[in-house]
Amino acid sequence: MTDDPSTNARRPLGYWLKHIDRRIEERFDELLAEDGLGRRHWQLCTTLARGPLDVEGLDEALAPFRSAREPTVRPLVDQLVARGWVMPSGDGALALTEEGRARHAEVAERVGGFRARVAAGLAPDEYATLLRLLERVADNLDAPPDNRADNPRDNRGNDQVGVT
């Protein structure tokens, strides 16, 4: 990243989204490395902390994070089972064990610190606005083509420059 504010202001939305996503992945991996975990392990434990799910339910819950390299979370689930953090039941549902809950709570403290660092310098209302704006962009991209505002001007008449 450059320190030249005029260059940074010209970078398009796609650049910043990719940059932020890469940095989150990298920093999470660094944060969790001492536990031999990755971000997907964390996401699995956090999802299971809400209640038991089978692998299919976990795949669905983590669909936005899966890729061609990771088409299913099954290998990660198997790793957590081998550690004793997750236990399958007879009906295929998976749940955190007592050890899994305890370790998840320990890691959650570090993750909370990381999240605070990510949002440093943003007031709570600014952070909420940022999330609302990103959600609006996602909704625009998720909408069928005939429902999107695919013209170069937004609904306030402002030119949409540097979106991609």
Digits of tens for pLDDT over the chain (164 positions)? 555 656 666 899 999 999 999 999 999 999 999 999 998 999 999 999 999 999 999 999 999 989 889 899 999 999 999 999 999 988 999 999 999 999 999 999 999 999 999 999 999 999 999 999 999 999 999 999 876 555 554 555 454 555 55
What angle do helix axes 39-49 and 98-118 make, rounded to 10 degrees? 120
What's the predicted TM-score (pTM) here? 0.74
Helical H segments across 65-159, by residue range = 74-83, 98-118, 124-142
CA-based R_g, the chain, Å: 19
